[in-house]
Amino acid sequence: MNLLVKGITIADPNSEFNQKTWDVRIEQGKITAIEKSLSPAKSEEVYEANGAILSPGFFDLNCMIGDPGLETKEDIQTGTAAAKAGGFTGLAVLPTTKPVVQSKGEVEYILNRAKNNLVDVFPIGAISHDLEGKELAELFDMKNAGAVAFSDGSKAIQDDGFVSRALQYCLGFGGLLMLYPENKSIAGKAQINESKNNVLLGMKGIPALAEEMQISRDIFLATYHDAPIHISNISTAGAVALIKKAKRDGVKITCDVAAHQLVFTEELLNDFDSNYKVKPPLRSKADNKALIAGLKDGTIDAVSSQHRPHEIEFKDVEFEIASYGIIALQTVLPLLLQAGLDANLIAEKLAINPRKILNLPTSTIKKGEIANFVIYNPAKKWEYNVSNNASKSKNSPLLGKTLTGKVELVYNNNQFQKYEQ
């Protein structure tokens, strides 16, 4: 589909046009011209930027879609619709479905279901059979079928020897383990951050130690095997320090942080709103600052949505029995802008690095490239509400709130979707 974008500011650290305002022409799915001024041609749609930014299409490393088996939470159609509305042109979807994605059959099912979509969908296979941390899933077969990495979702694998064997096995075919960091013997059954706040609320707390001990173990194992490893959804200042040192020491480690961990803090739990119940738990303002600093200095490689859709009966209940997680694909961009990230850093952490981590092609804004981009207005205010929520679920504390930073157009696979400017 042909499109002319007029007067757009480009945010792409890999492009010679970075931070410049140009006209961009897209024909039949390719960028065919980037010039100071282009005249509209017949049969092409014209988009006037009006202060908007053009960035490579966002990519999410940590997204739950319930298909197969849990489609009442989210299916591929609604999940990709929410992704588009949030500026994402690529999703890596977790294996936490029913059945679990643990063999080539489930991988092929997801790839077939997601064909011909504007949003590219990439399956992540399970590390362990039924996510139990005891028996290796069919990693090699899943890799050959199209799995881009392996994860047990938000289930932390406690058996050190099992993780060691999985790392060693993956070395043989270039597999990547994405590990959730929580030492269960330290965390116990607690559900919120350990601090003065958990005492005030009368609830047991999960200490930062539980996350940091697990990351330390994973660093030791990655070092021992000289194997790459990815840590998903870090949340503490101590985690940032550990990974920063590991990178200096030459460990092949990458990590991501969920967007809400940059802005939300544990004080939001004072009203026991279960929509703020996430895993890892919301931490302190000091942790927020350390995580943002980690993004800026390169310690944290990427930002993820940690999209976790749930039916109302799993969230509209007492805090202690509510499920973990929020829907997040449509609100990542506003949270990153609220956290103070500039357009280049957003492009790096939300579009370029996620694809690099998974060894996928990265899109660049230049002539001759396949068009894969998002256009967003960083100053545009909009209300996130039930009518524009594209997810099948509604478990977000931001529903009904006015947000700043609006996605206006996404383009990928020779398709584009416009939203209200």
25-50: pLDDT as tens digits: 999 999 999 999 999 988 899 999 99
What DSSP letter does each residue of 347-401 carry, written as one string?
Answer: HIIIIIHHHHHTTPPPP--STTSBP-EEEEEEEEEEEE-TTT--SS----TTTTE
> How much is the pLDDT for 387?
96
Segment 242-258 mean pLDDT: 98
> How much is the pLDDT for 42?
85
Q: Is the pLDDT of residue 421 over 80?
A: no
Tokens in use for 332? 């990542």
pLDDT tier at 13, thresholds 50, 70, 90: very high
Q: Is the pLDDT of residue 395 over 90?
A: yes
Scanning the structure block, which residue is given the tokens 């999985």? Answer: 166
What confidence tens digit (pLDDT) does each residue in 301-310 have?
999 999 999 9
- Of 142-146, 193-197, 299-303, give the lowest mean pLDDT range: 193-197
The alpha carbon of 47 is separated from its chain's Cα centroid by a whole number of angstroms, namely 28
State the Rg of the chain over Cα: 21
Q: Is the pLDDT of residue 260 over 80?
A: yes
pLDDT tier at 151, thresholds 50, 70, 90: very high
Strand 53-56 relative to strand 373-384: parallel, antiparallel, unpaired? antiparallel
pLDDT tier at 368, thresholds 50, 70, 90: very high
Kind and range of the H or E run holding 48: strand 45-48
Among the listed residues 89, 90, 97, 88, the one whose alpha carbon sits nearest the alpha carbon of residue 65: 97
Segment 243-251 mean pLDDT: 98
Arithmetic mean of pLDDT over the chain? 97
> How much is the pLDDT for 165?
98
> How much is the pLDDT for 135?
97
Q: Is the pLDDT of residue 177 over 90?
A: yes
pLDDT tier at 1, thresholds 50, 70, 90: confident
Residue range(s) in the chain whose domain bears CATH number 2.30.40.10: 3-54+366-391+402-418
pLDDT tier at 409, thresholds 50, 70, 90: very high
One-letter amino acid for residue 246 of the chain = A
> How much is the pLDDT for 314?
97
CA–CA dist 256, 233 (Å, integer): 5
Segment 130-151 mean pLDDT: 98
pTM here? 0.97
Residue range(s) in the chain whose domain bears CATH number 3.20.20.140: 56-357
The Cα-based distances of 162 to 142, 157, 190 in angstroms read: 19, 8, 25
Decide if domain 3-54+366-391+402-418 falls under CATH 1.10.3720.10: no
Q: Is the pLDDT of residue 117 over 90?
A: yes
Domain 56-357: assigned CATH number: 3.20.20.140
One-letter amino acid for residue 25 of the chain = R
pLDDT more than 70, % of the chain: 100
CA–CA dist 8, 82 (Å, integer): 24
pLDDT tier at 222, thresholds 50, 70, 90: very high
Segment 87-112 mean pLDDT: 98
> How much is the pLDDT for 420?
82
- Count of CA atoms in the C-beta half-sphere (13 A) of 313: 2
Total number of residues shown for the chain: 421
Instruction: Count the helices and strands in the chain (H runs, E runs).
Output: 13, 18
Q: Is the pLDDT of residue 98 over 80?
A: yes
The Cα-based distances of 254 to 62, 229, 294, 414 in angstroms read: 14, 6, 12, 32
Q: Is the pLDDT of residue 264 over 80?
A: yes
What confidence tens digit (pLDDT) does each residue in 317-362 have?
999 999 999 999 999 999 999 999 999 999 999 999 999 999 999 9
